[in-house]
Structure 1
Amino acid sequence: MNINNVLKRRLLILLLAVGLLVAGITSFLKLPLQAYPGVAPLTVQAITQWPGASTAQIEQQVTIPVENGLAGISGVQVFRSVSLFGLSVVTVKFKDGEDSFKARQLVFGVIANITLPAGASINISPDSDATGEILRYVVESTYASPMTLKSFQDYEIYKELKHVQGVPDISSFGGKTRQYQIIITPGALQAKNVTLQQLVTAVTNSNVNVGGGLLPVGEQQLVVRGVGLLQSIDDMKRIVIAVNNGVPVRVGDVGDVVVGNALRQGMFQYQDNSDAVEGVVLLKRGENASEVLKRVKAKVEELNTLLLPPGIDIFPFYDRQVLLDITLNTVKHTLFFGISLVLIILYIFLGNFKAAGVVAAVIPLALCVSFFNMDQFHVPANLISLGAIDFGVIVDAAVIVMENVMRHLEERHTKLNQSIVLGTSEVQRAMVFSTGIIITAYSPLFLMGGVEGIIFRPMAFTMGFALLASIILSLTFVPAMISYIFKEGEEHRPPQFVEKMLAIYKPLLRHLVDRPKQVLMGAVGLLLFTIISATQLGTEFLPTLEENNLWVRVTLPNTVDLKYSVELANQIREEFKNQPEVKYVSVQIGRPDDGTDPTGVFNQEYGVYFKAPEDMPAGAGKKQLIKRLEKYLDTLPGVDYTFSQYIQDNVNEALSGVKGENSVKIFGPDLEVLDMQARDVIKQLRKVHGIVDEGIFNELGQPTLNVQIDRVKCARFGVNVSDIQSLVAYSIGGAPITNVLENEKTFGLAVRLNVDNRNTVESIRSLLIDTADGSRVPLTMVADVAVSDGPFYIYRETGRRYIAIKFSVRGRDLGSAVKDAQQLVKENVNLPNGYTINWDGQFNQMKIAQKKLMLIVPLTLLAIALLLYTAFGNFRDALVVLLNVPFAAIGGILILLITGETFSISAGIGFLSLFGIAIQDGVILISYINKLSRSDHHNIKDTIVEGASLRMRPVLMTALLAGLGLLPAAISHAIGSEAQRPLALVIVGGMVTTTLLTLLVLPVLYAWIRTREHKPRSA
């Protein structure tokens, strides 16, 4: 770039900089803000509810046909499904980059054409993801019953919140669903000589409206309607079932019509309320959580003040905005202190506030370029894309230009504009190449897929555009500003601090250059020591992102009923609620009405929400709380439990299909064999130190009362099979036969036997069935009624059944714990033919990411090597600079060991950044040494010492800025700092050794190589 032209157009450049600032700020204000990246994969669920159907029926008649129908759609990564009593959920997980709208359309198009059994209804999940539950609230009242509150939630509150822009759905949990019920006794039907089927048919046919077309009346036409919908209990009682001997038999003659509640498969508890109603507001995929929450909370306020009756209120107890605010405050603090440290370093080394200010001004301008492009390409802003920005790296190019211009001004050999042109031009090529190398070091992040790609791609995007902008700004804005802030003839002196350092460094380097073997052997020894020490590093996928809550999943024996589960939940909730750290406790028992969480009443999920840290007593905290709760839960017989966090729990399930951080999946056709193998595997897991929260997702043992119809006997007695099915479905099961409309509300109408006639197996066996000749026979005469064990769940993945064993790892790194577990399982568990085992969850994600890094990192280093060859024109100099990479890793590895951090994907990304910075420093040094050697005919050692001395200041500055810019993130333990801390630690620690080795070892190595090249060969 022609710097003279830049100086001629300096006013235009300043105006463009102001315009860039305005555009960047405007774009930033429009960016969707997230606490954490939306790491959940794109999934679409086909949810089918078939009330009363057994697990085996669901798998055979619903799940498998749905799976087969969906198998042909494009862009799918994996199919998973779970079948259980009355419910099938088939989850389609799409590949990264697939369009959400297209994916939903593909799934919806297939399920619309699938033929399902009568009574089964299918739909797809809302357009949200596993991180989309942004607000949880409880509907409270001083007087209303759970049934009344449930009706308000389902029809009043739901309708209002569903119309809020950005809300695709509201999930309801708890409360009693209002249902009209006709309670009959077999004796009453027999006494009036009517059948159950006659009753069902009469009620169904008496609850319709019909259209009679149009009736011309004079010059008008009337719409003809036959209004016959049921309006009241009296209407239901008056329905005529049959006419016997001229006497009508009405519903009220054979049974009682009451208002009851539908079969409950879940309950919700909150604080002291053991039967509460909860609503969960979902965020539409791609929407701005903060903006949607503002609109939702405004609507909640309107509902509480204007729309809901006095005494009924909505109380939000979980608000994602709290987490957003906490994490963004963490980002703000790390950014503020990072910029402050950058400014201090700039002033110390440049000795001039104006010069430091010009370099620092590159930071907001470069970020504005990133913000503008993030807005254009819809990249969200979160604690990774913003919190892991290294301001020191962004200003490196500007530092190189400013330092070289300042050096020319300090030497006073040229005028101001000549110093600017000369100082910028001298470093232009090296600066462009070195910054390009750093951008190349970030390029693997763009190629990553899965969770790690979702998390770190935004960071690479932000840094990539910021670095590109920094090159342009360093060659335009910085020279233009220098021409404004400095005056011709103004005196400039290097800071005394720099002169003192140089006075120490130059003779020290001269001393080391004369002793290359000792220096290089020491460096190699340190490298070998570090490599050996690195074997002690544990491995994990990603640090757990702190959410300031606990999500505790308690699993009881699968055979428990709702009453027992609720009684135990009352005890556990009371224990949790009385802990000093806890502000609120909520409990979800079983599953919600919409079927989006396929589980049973044996499953309890506790949301434990914390007080502010200042409100907790001394010695209290999350780790201490978990230890106390573990100790308490261990006293409860037959209870399995898992500790997680709210978002983390949802994401783990979305990634692996299992409610746990990690899982072992055993695939095979026979459920009994799978169960036996799972018990062998869990025995091995329990032997491994660090593995906790282990448990089997039991699939067998569901007590089932089978009414096996004998068609031969039915034919003998003249019994219609459909009459037996109606008895099972309606009278015993209570399935709705029609719906009652009340304005905008819809409630089911069911026919049920009196509880005394269906509360025991014997009472069901003795039920009478009508025959063709008008007589009645016991149910046992036409069917075999017996209790047997069946499956609770049937899990499937890619068309194969599997059983899952969940586990977590605490007090030890994930990689070594699972490695030990895999070895034990391999040695002690023998799988039959046709059965396979997979390790899933965070461990599987870690292995996938590590494989990608093993492939991408060498390719990246190769690309950097090619850039270096292009920059230097020879392999020698490129290789010397590349040797900075292993030496840079020394500091990163040692600081991980010292701080007790494991090697995670976050730390791996830190090493990539570190390698780029280390190579940049090498380029700065070697480029200048080569420039001196071409124009100076002194001894090569003297040239190297002189060149290194002149480049000491920019090398120190770039290294310190890169390290100290991330120091606040490296030492922070605030909420939101977990993911960026390993990355920052690696860079901070790595820059210590990189600086020392670049300034001390690299010149010695280069001098040793160049000296050997110039040494005369003996004859």
Structure 2
Amino acid sequence: MHKIIGYFLHNRLITALVLILIIIGGLSTVPFNWHSGLIPRNPVAVDAIPDIGDNQQIIATDWMGRSPKDIQEQVTYPLTTALLGIPGVKTIRSSSMFGMSFIYIIFNDDVDFYWSRSRILEKLNSLPAGLLPEGVKPTLGPDATALGQIYWYTLEGRNPKTGKPAGGWDPQELRTIQDYYVRYQLSSAEGVSEVASVGGYVKEYQVDLNPEAMRAYGLNLVQVMLAVKNSNIDVGAGTMEVNRAEYLIRGLGYVKKLKDLEEATITDRHGVAVRVKDVAKVSFGPGDRRGGLDKEGQEAVGGVVVARNGSNPMEVINNVKAKIAEMQGGMPEKTLKDGSTSRVTVVPFYDRTRLIKETIGTLESSLMHEILICIIVVLILVLNLRASFVIATMLPLAVLTTFIVMKLLGIEANIVALSGIAIAIGVMVDVGVVFMENVVRHLSTAPHARGKQLEALILNAVHEVSGAVMTGMGTTIISFLPVFAMQAQEGKMFHPLAFTKTFALLSALLLGILILPTLAYWIFSLRIPKRWALKVFKKRVPRTFKIMHWTVSTNMLIIAIVVLLATYELSSVWLPLGPQNGTLLNLLFVIVTVGAILSILWLLVLKYEQILRWCLNHRWKFMSIPILTLIAGGMIWTKTGSEFMPTLDEGAFLLMPTSMPHSGVEENIQNCKILDQRIKAIPEVESVVGKWGRVESALDPAPIQMYEITINYKPEYQLDDDGKRIRDKNGDYIRLWRDEIKNEDDIWKEIVKAANLPGLTGSPKLQPIATRQVMLSTGMKAPMGLKIYGPDLASIEQAGLQMEKALKAIPDINSSSVYYDRAEGAPYIEIHLDREKLGRYGIQVGTVQSVIETAIGGMAEGSTVEGRERFPIRVRYARELRDDPDVLNGILVPTADGTQIPLGELATFHFVKGATMIQSENTFLTGYVTFDKVGNKAEVDVVHAAQKHIDELVAHGKIKLSKGVTYKFTGTYEQQIHAAERLQVVIPIALILIFLVLFFQFKSVTASMIHFSGVFVAFAGGFILIWLYGQDWFLNFNIAGVNMRTLFGMGQINLSVAVWVGFIALFGVATDDGVLMGTYIHQVFLKRQPHSPLEIREAVVEAGMKRVRPAAMTTATTLIALLPVLSSTGKGSDIMVPMSIPTFGGMLIQTMTMFVVPVFQCWWRESALKREQKKKN
């Protein structure tokens, strides 16, 4: 180590080059919106949160017109059983709905995404003949998951000059533009997997048959259908050479207009052609709809852009926006009656960009505030301007180095990854503090050292404490390695944090060893001629400074000025008390808050010797304090609730109610319209777009009774394009919410009130990304729920309705959110054929079924080819002859001799109830009961209470389950259970690794255990602060009208994976002060070789006195650096704050180790001395 430090210190040109490369590379890759123009930008990719979705593939199969029961039995079930044998499959879920089958294959996380797709394609291509109905062909969905739905938009007619809505386009026109122009253009953007359409009307050529006219001409359905099909065909007849020129021969016969179809010949009667127009009405019309879009009460047309799996959402969105800007000038436009122009415009209503920018903006602000506050603290604690400059320089350099490594390894900058840097800042600065504190101490022995002497002093000073620093950083880094062992969603969530925190700490350590000595040499080599300085200060410094030594007075004055300026700048950008209180009040608050922490620690340093001697003389009394702390922490731990993950505020809600199973298209359109209008009337709501049914994509298996309403609410304060708050002319932030609206929960309550419509279910509080994640991992549309498995739908429904009622009675569950997702209840008209009558007329079953399918449902007989556009040609009975159950009897069925028999003569009609959607998991039929918790209740506690209640009711027979029916609770609860099981392994591993690092440093089990004790004390401190956060009385007072609990986001904190990760981070730094002190105690003992208890105590006191100041400094920087994080309120703070609380609370209590370690050391060494003396005697 001595040689490495010496090499870079002696070869300062190499060090300078490395330094320049770090600065240029860091500024080039920094993920924030910094555009200096001097350095080319190649930033780290950014996103809001890591992609924690399951490794899923989707198989979609169309069999239009078929009931869910037919789809389940003839498509979904056979396909599912055939796919079960694919290697690496974890679960197969399926949904069978009207005309569609969706099969979701969830693979293990270690299976490559595209390898799994190739295995599925192999399986689909080798399906045995007869497994599926004729003509049914399953297709593999897009290479993406629902989490990839990053950009939703509507197409609207807008004035190209003003940008204001102009209208003038009907839903059919907009849908055609979307399907055949916009969709293809956006699909070509890099990183886009799919662009799916929704809303509007799909244009069709509709041939509406008149059965009476057909009977008059002696025609049947088959003849008309064949004529329509044969009227729409082009052919090629090769080539012909004329005068040595080759001519291509084409026979043109595609339908181009309605008249082409009308004039199509079916047959002739007595030499007169019978044409389609003679037996049918040909017109344009809308196709059948299974989904639609509504924007604030108006019918809308739009689409959704899906990012390819593994692509960066922000980059894809930017590519899409670039493509939109490119094609906007060529979008269709028309002149309206008033002479104005209306151009079709892409208008986004869900764009993940804002969330990403706000989240990254929150982290950027927190990091900047942390760095600035650390510089202030270092200036105050070190009291040496030159040393402070070196330490302050190392911090941004380490952050820039981390960004370079992130770019090289392809790690995204998201809320979790950047949180790793945020929680490491305090520890990173400790490296420079410890090194420079020792350098300053060594230089105090030779204040006029120059050249080689200065080099030697710096080299020896850095090398002297390098072992302790490396051990301290080693425990911090190694303690985080078990986070890499996390699996499933918790692993995907926190692996980026583990990477970035490790990179940040390694960067700080390496820069401290390689760069810091050279920087220190340069800074301490600078000398300002004394006569120049005296001339300046005689003019500007009051006489009172003349009584002080020149160097001290100047140094202190400059430090005071720099600290004041830095604190002022911090106050003006941090503004913890809000802009309404002005910069001065915020400045005072920052000074008092930081000063309070520093004063306590400084008082500890001043009184350290006195307190330590008391502790050494009253060991048992003193040890009762950490013992009671441990007991208190343990008791709080056992009573703290658990959840999987804190909820990230996405800035948008997703309202997902469901209508009754019997509701039809018109009913759902009307409900969606009313909901949108009511919600848009809420002042805090920015935009509302509702979707009923499904998007034309395999990623959206929604029946028409399901709504998905995207609600974008306004940010609390007006923001600029980079997600930063805007001030008014008075310097105050512009607040956009009403005074009575305090947080997002208040907005949700307003939405719930507005969405209370008869015939609609309630909806849990949902957000777009979180909902997609839950649906991807559980198949449910809520984070908490109950899965019911059974042999048939009736048994499942019986159990589900009973459990729905039981769950509503549980106090911790929001009763309005409890809903059994009814599989049955859809009204069916079943046509039962009378085979005896069919035989009497000589009609086959297939003939009747074909007539039913075509006359009522309609049969697509090809599509027209009109340039890029393709429109289906549908043949069926006229609407008035098929839209009423009473007229279905009159549908004519042809016999072999051409006679037409009414359907009513051949069949009977029955009105029954059947399935709306049939869901299954691993071929077992499944039903869902979804629910939500009340307030901030812990998810695990709520589920445990619900499970206990349901189990008791089942055991006592109050809930009667049919034979074969089973149930289990699911949702994020399952993920929390999995994470807890993993943490039971991960956390002990982290503790063992920390202990091993300590053992390798001290080569003694006893010494290692002494220093390891800091972990337990800090652990208890973390839980004590978590408990205090949940107490209404704690910090419940106002300063300048700002409540301190609100400022620091205090409330109930549940034990989530984020909190446990915070504890793992705490374990790594909890031993640092003890290691620093223990290392020097060991050095003092080797030097002094004490031979009596008194000498041992004096040696311990001497060592403690030498190391209490750097120990207090590192604690101060760690604590104060977290203040901006703890008080952050922007997007992303929901995850940052819970991770930071254990570290802050633990480090507060951990100062106790400054006394615990010396007391244990003294105890241990006195015992060893007694044993040696006994052996001698």
* TM-score interval (norm. to shorter): over 0.9
> Which residues of 2 match residues 693-708 of structure 1 at below 5 A?
693-708=817-832
- Aligned-partner SS, 2:416: coil
Matched, 1:763 2:887: yes
The Cα offsets for residues 118-147 of structure 1, whole Å up to 9 and x where unpaired, read as 453533332333332222222113212111
1:263-289 superposed Cα distances (whole Å, 9 cap, x missing partner) = 11122110241x111222222233333
Does residue 41 (structure 1) correspond to residue 43 (structure 2)? The answer is no
Three-state SS of the structure 1 residue aligned to 2:663 is coil
- Counterpart contact for 1:51–1:735, Cα < 8 Å: no
Matched, 1:356 2:365: no
Match of 2:1043 in 1: none
SS at match of 1:644: coil
Cα separation, partners in 2 of 1:499 and 1:53, compared to 1, 3 Å = closer
- Give the structure 2 partner of residue 774 of structure 1: 898
Letter in 1 for 2:1060: G
Larger mean CA deviation between 784-793 and 450-459 belongs to 784-793
1:181 equivalent among 206, 218, 223: 206
1:615 has 2:736 as partner: yes
C-alpha displacement of 1:408 = 1.9
Corresponding residue number in structure 2 for 1:466: 504
**1:135 and 2:139 correspond:** no
Paired letter, 1:929: I
Partner of 1:1012: 1167
Q: How do residues 527-676 of structure 1 correspond to structure 2 at under 5 angstroms?
A: 527-613=630-716, 614-620=735-741, 621-634=743-756, 636-676=758-798
Alignment partner of 1:791 is 2:947: no
**Aligned match of 2:414:** 382
Are the equivalent residues in 2 in contact too, given 1:545–1:979 (CA < 8 A)? yes
User: Which ranges in structure 2 are unaligned for 5 or more consecutive residues?
Assistant: 31-41, 158-166, 335-341, 529-549, 557-597, 717-734, 956-960, 1030-1051
Query: What is aligned with 2:993?
Result: 863
Q: Taking structure 1 as reference, are residues 301 and 473 closer, same or farther at Cα in structure 2, changes over 3 Å only?
A: closer
Q: Deviations over 1:104-131 (max 9, x none)?
A: 3333343344464345353333233333
Q: What residue is the counterpart of 1:395 in the other structure? A: 429
Aligned to 2:1089: 937
Q: Provide, for residues 185-205 of structure 1, a one-character-per-residue CA deviation record: whole Å limited to 9, x for no partner.
A: 221211110111111122122
The residue that corresponds to 2:104 in the other structure is 91
How far apart, CA to CA, are the structure 2 residues paired with 1:749 and 1:961? Answer: 73
Structure 1 distance, partners of 2:205, 2:487, is 52
Change (3 A) 1:908 1:500: closer
User: Structure 1 residues 255-264 or 420-429, which shifts more?
Assistant: 420-429
Contact 2:296 2:680 in 1 (8 A): yes
Q: CA deviation at 1:343?
A: 0.9
Displacement of 1:818 in angstroms is 0.8
Residue 50, structure 1, aligned to residue 75, structure 2:
no
Distance 1:808 1:74, change over 3 A: same
Matched-pair contact (CA < 8 Å) for 2:657–2:760: no
The question of 1:432 aligning with 2:470 is answered yes
Q: Report how far residue 711 of structure 1 moved.
A: 4.7
Cα deviation for residue 425 of structure 1 reads 2.0
Match of 2:965 in 1: 835
Q: Which of the numbers 1107, 1113, 1133 marks the counterpart of 1:951?
A: 1107
Equivalent residue for 1:417? 455
1:258 alignment partner, SS class: strand
Relative to 1, partners in 2 of residues 1:1010 and 1:634: Cα closer, same or farther, differing over 3 Å?
farther
2:629, 2:1021 within 8 Å by CA — same for their partners in 1?
A: no
Matched ranges for 1:726-741 at <5 A: 726-741=850-865
Distance in 1, Cα, partners of 2:526 & 2:353: 54
Residue 235 of structure 2 corresponds to residue 210 of structure 1:
yes
**TM-score normalised to the size of structure 2?**
0.83
1:349 aligned partner, one-letter code: L
Q: 205-214 or 410-419: which moved more?
A: 410-419
Cα distance in structure 2, aligned partners of 1:163 and 1:638: 39
Whether the 8 Å CA contact 1:398–1:473 is kept in 2: the answer is: no
Cα deviation, 1:834-865, whole Å, max 9, x if unaligned, reads: 43322221111111111111111112212222
**Which residue does the alignment assign to 2:568?**
none
Shift of 1:922: 1.9
Following TM superposition, by how much is the alpha carbon of 1:567 offset from its aligned partner in structure 2, in angstroms?
2.0
Match of 1:26 in 2: 28
Residues in 2 aligned to 1:70 and 1:637: alpha-carbon distance in whole angstroms: 39
Aligned length: 1017
Q: Mark the CA change 1:260 to 1:254 in structure 2 (over 3 Å): closer, same or farther.
A: same
Aligned to 2:216: 191
Picking from 807, 816, 836, the partner of 1:685 is 807
- Between the aligned partners of 1:420 and 1:197, the Cα distance in structure 2 is 97
- CA drift of 1:248 comes to 2.7
Residue 754 of structure 1 and its aligned partner are, at CA, apart by: 1.8
How far has the Cα of 1:956 moved from its partner? 1.6
Q: Deviations over 1:589-637 (max 9, x none)?
A: 1112335311222112211111242222222242222223333444634
- What secondary structure is seen at the aligned counterpart in 1 of 2:764? strand
What is the alpha-carbon distance in structure 1 between the residues aligned to residue 376 and residue 641 of structure 2?
36
Contact 1:335 1:387 in 2 (8 A): no
Inter-CA distance 313–23: structure 2 relative to 1 (3 Å threshold):
closer
CA distance in structure 1 between the partners assigned to 2:23 and 2:310 by the alignment: 26
Distance 1:778 1:885, change over 3 A: same
Q: Give the conservation status (yes or no) of the 8 Å contact 1:215–1:222.
A: yes
Match of 2:359 in 1: 327
In structure 1, runs of 5+ residues without a counterpart are none
Distance in 2 between the 1:354 and 1:906 partners?
38
Shift of 1:488: 9.7
CA distance 1:43–1:564, shift in 2 (3 Å): same
Paired AA for residue 80 in structure 1: R
Report deviation, 1:782.
Answer: 3.5
Which residue of 473, 479, 486 maps to 1:448? Answer: 486
Using the TM superposition, give the Cα deviation of residue 727 of structure 1 relative to its aligned residue in structure 2, in angstroms. Answer: 1.8
- Contact 2:784/2:930 (<8 A) preserved: yes
Residues 116-125 or 766-775, more deviating: 116-125
Q: Percent identity?
A: 29
Does structure 2 conserve the Cα–Cα contact (< 8 Å) formed by 1:241 and 1:250?
yes
Aligned 8 A contact 1:197 1:723 in 2: no
Aligned counterpart in structure 2 of residue 895 of structure 1, from 1025, 1028, 1033? 1025
SS at match of 2:147: coil
Q: CA RMSD in A?
A: 2.4
CA contact (8 A) 2:786 2:969 kept: yes
Q: CA deviation at 1:744?
A: 0.8
Look up the SS of the partner of 2:111 in the other structure: coil
Most deviating of 165-174 and 337-346: 165-174
Aligned pair partner of 1:365 in 391, 397, 404: 397
- Aligned with 1:824 (options 949, 954, 962): 949
Contact 1:328 1:383 in 2 (8 A): yes
Distance 1:517 1:500, change over 3 A: closer
Who is 2:302 aligned against?
A: 278
Pairwise CA distance, 1:214: 3.4
2:656/2:707 contact within 8 Å kept: yes
Task: State the secondary structure of the residue aligned to 1:380.
Answer: coil
Tell me if structure 2 keeps the 8 A contact 1:652–1:660.
Answer: yes
2 CA distance for matches of 1:628 and 1:407? 62
Partner in structure 1 of residue 536 of structure 2: none
The Cα shift of 1:450 comes to 2.0
* Maintained 8 Å contact 1:541/1:842: yes
**2:317–2:353 contact (8 Å) kept in structure 1:** yes
Change (3 A) 1:292 1:663: same
Q: Which residue is 2:591 aligned to?
A: none
The aligned counterpart of 2:376 is: 344
Check if 1:970 corresponds to 2:970. no
Do the aligned residues in 2 keep the contact of 1:730 with 1:750 (CA within 8 Å)?
no
- Is 1:911 aligned to residue 1063 of structure 2? yes
Secondary structure (helix, strand or coil) at the match of 1:384 reads helix
Correspondence for 1:476: 514
SS at match of 1:555: coil
Amino acid at match of 1:736: A
CA contact (8 A) 2:990 2:1064 kept: no
Say whether 1:265 aligns with 2:420: no
Q: CA deviation at 1:469?
A: 2.5
